[in-house]
C-alpha cells in the first residue's frame, strides 16, 4: 500500500497582499484516519481573496496554502481509511470532528474542532492535500456528459453552501426566492432555487451576471446599480403578486457578501419573510433590526453545509 507521497508541491501565501509562492511540500504521510488527495481542481472562493488581500486572518498562521474547494483522487491513506484509495472524491470545505456535542446534535457546521483545508492547515492550491477521511464525498467514476472531476471542486463550497441555506429555508414551488448577488455562490443559488420550482428574482449590479442568471432560472432580474431600494421593492412586490404563489413571505438569500447587498436584502423583508445570510463581509452595516419584529420575520446564517 502507498503511504507517504513525495514530490508534492503547492502555492503558498506568506504575507498579506503578496503573490502566492511555489513551494515543495514535505512527504505527506497520512495518519490512521487521514488520506492524501491528488488535486484535480480547486475553486477560488471569495474567502481566499479575503485571506490574501483583505486581512481576514486564517486560523493557521501564515505561511499557508489556501484553497478549500477541492476535488481529486485519493492516492494514499492511513490504515483506517484504506478503502478510499483510488476513488474520486470531493473534499468538503468544512470537515467536522464527528464526536463533539455540536456534531452529535447534528450541528456539524458549528463544530469547534472542525478542519477547513486552506484555513486550519494547507489547502488545495497544490498538487496534493492531506485531509481527514471524515465526511469525504465519493464521486462516481463515470460522470454525466460534460462534467469533469475538476469542475466538481466547487461543489465543496460554492454549490453546497447556498444549497444548505435554501434547504434550511424550506423553499418550495409556492415561494418567491430573491437572490441578492448572483456571482460565484448566488449563481448556483439561482439554479438550486429554480430547480426546486420557486419563482426566482436575481439582484446584482453586474449586467453579465444578471444575463447568466436569466439563462439559468431567474424569472426576473433587477440591476441594483440602476434601481434604488424602493424601486427594487416595488418590482419584487409586483412579481410576487403576478406569480400568484401561496407562500407567505419572501425567501431572501444574501449571497453578495457586500454591505450594499446586505442592506438591500434586509430592506426587502416583508411580513413573514425569511432572510438567509450566506455571503461574508467584515464590514458592518446599519439596519433597523426591529424590522424583524415588525414583520415577524426570520434571519439566519449558515457556515458551510451539514
Ligand atoms: Zn469558501
Ligand atoms: Zn465536532
From the list 305, 221, 233, 244, the residue with the least C-alpha distance to 270 is 233
Q: Residue 226 carries which DSSP code? A: T
From the list 206, 193, 190, the residue with the least C-alpha distance to 261 is 206
Q: Could you report the per-residue pLDDT of 167-226, keeping only the tens digit for each?
A: 999 999 999 999 999 999 999 999 999 999 999 999 999 999 999 999 999 999 999 999
Average pLDDT, the chain: 96
From the list 21, 114, 6, 132, the residue with the least C-alpha distance to 66 is 21
Q: Which residues surround ligand 2, an ion (CB under 5 A)?
A: 96-97, 100, 103, 111, 113
Q: What pLDDT, on the 0 to 100 scale, is given for residue 303?
A: 86
105 pLDDT more than 90: yes
What are the φ/ψ torsions at residue 203 (nearest 5 degrees)? Answer: -120, 130
Q: What pLDDT, on the 0 to 100 scale, is given for residue 164?
A: 95
From the list 254, 276, 274, 271, the residue with the least C-alpha distance to 263 is 254
Number of residues that make up the chain: 306
Distance 264 CA to ligand 1 centre (A): 22
Distance 254 CA to ligand 1 centre (A): 15
Q: Is 198 helix (H, G, I), strand (E, B) or coil?
A: coil
Q: What pLDDT, on the 0 to 100 scale, is given for residue 69?
A: 97
1 pLDDT more than 60: no
Q: Could you report the per-residue pLDDT of 249-299, keeping only the tens digit for each?
A: 999 999 999 999 999 999 999 999 999 999 988 899 999 999 999 999 999
Distance 81 CA to ligand 2 centre (A): 19
Identify the bridge partners of residue 90 per DSSP, sorted by sequence position: 71, 137
Distance 211 CA to ligand 1 centre (A): 24
Q: Which ligand is closest to the CA of 115, given by its number?
A: 2
Q: Could you report the per-residue pLDDT of 8-18, keeping only the tens digit for each?
A: 999 999 999 99
Would you say 12 and 65 are in contact if contact means Cβ atoms under 8 Å apart? Answer: yes
pTM of the model: 0.89
306 pLDDT more than 90: no
Amino acid at each position: 500500500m502507498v503511504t507517504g507521497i513525495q514530490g508534492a508541491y503547492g502555492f503558498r501565501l506568506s504575507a498579506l497582499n503578496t503573490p502566492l509562492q511555489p513551494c515543495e511540500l514535505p512527504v505527506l504521510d497520512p495518519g490512521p484516519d487521514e488520506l492524501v488527495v491528488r488535486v484535480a481542481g480547486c475553486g477560488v472562493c471569495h474567502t481566499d481573496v479575503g485571506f490574501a488581500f483583505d486581512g481576514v486572518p486564517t486560523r493557521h498562521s501564515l505561511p499557508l496554502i489556501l484553497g478549500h474547494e477541492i476535488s481529486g483522487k485519493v492516492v494514499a491513506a492511513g490504515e483506517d481509511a484504506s478503502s478510499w484509495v483510488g476513488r474520486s472524491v470531493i473534499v468538503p470545505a468544512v470537515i467536522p470532528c464527528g464526536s463533539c456535542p455540536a456534531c452529535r446534535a447534528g450541528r456539524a457546521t458549528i463544530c469547534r474542532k472542525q478542519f477547513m483545508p486552506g484555513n486550519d492547515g494547507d489547502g488545495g492550491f497544490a498538487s496534493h492535500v492531506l485531509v481527514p477521511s471524515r465526511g469525504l464525498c465519493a464521486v462516481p467514476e463515470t460522470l454525466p456528459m460534460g462534467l469533469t472531476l475538476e469542475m466538481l471542486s466547487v461543489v465543496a463550497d460554492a454549490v453546497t453552501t447556498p444549497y444548505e441555506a435554501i434547504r434550511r429555508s424550506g423553499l418550495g414551488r409556492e415561494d418567491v426566492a430573491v437572490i441578492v448577488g448572483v456571482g460565484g455562490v448566488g449563481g448556483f443559488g439561482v439554479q438550486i432555487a429554480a430547480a426546486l420550482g420557486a419563482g426566482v428574482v436575481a439582484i446584482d449590479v453586474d449586467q453579465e451576471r444578471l444575463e447568466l442568471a436569466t439563462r439559468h432560472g431567474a424569472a426576473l432580474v433587477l440591476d441594483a446599480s440602476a434601481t434604488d431600494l424602493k424601486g427594487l421593492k416595488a418590482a419584487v412586490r409586483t412579481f410576487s403578486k403576478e406569480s400568484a404563489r401561496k407562500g407567505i413571505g419572501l425567501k431572501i438569500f444574501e449571497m453578495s457578501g457586500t454591505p450594499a447587498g446586505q442592506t438591500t436584502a434586509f430592506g426587502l423583508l416583508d411580513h413573514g419573510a425569511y432572510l438567509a445570510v450566506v455571503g461574508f463581509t467584515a464590514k458592518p452595516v446599519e439596519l433597523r433590526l426591529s424590522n424583524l419584529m415588525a414583520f415577524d420575520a426570520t434571519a439566519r446564517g449558515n457556515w458551510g453545509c451539514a
